[in-house]
Amino acid sequence: MSRVSTIIVLGLLVALVGIVGGSFDIAREIEDNSGLGLLFKLRGAKKPPPEVVIISIDRESSEQLSLPDNPDRWPRSAHARLVDILAKEGASVIVFDLYFTDPRPGTEDHLLAKAIRDAGNVVLAEPLKAKDIPAATIAGVSAIQHRVVETVKPIPPIARATFASAPFVLPKLPIKVNQYWTFQTAAGDSPTFPVVAFQLYALRAYNEFVRLLHSVDPKAVQSLPDGSVAFQGEAAVRRIREIRRFSKKRRRSRIVQPPR
Q: What is the mean pLDDT of the chain?
A: 77
Whether the predicted model's global pTM rises above the 0.75 cut:
no
Query: Which range, 2-6, 50-54, 177-181, 213-217, is most confident?
Result: 50-54
Which residues are CB-neighbours of 31 under 8 A, at least 6 positions away? none
Of the listed ranges 50-59, 117-126, 171-180, the one predicted with least confidence = 171-180
Half-sphere exposure of residue 124: CA atoms within 13 angstroms, side-chain side: 31
Of these ranges, 19-23, 78-82, 146-150, the one predicted with the greatest mean pLDDT is 78-82
The full set of domain ranges for the chain reads 59-127+153-203, 205-256
Residue 9: pLDDT band with limits 50, 70, 90: low
Is the predicted pLDDT of residue 206 greater than 70, yes or no? yes
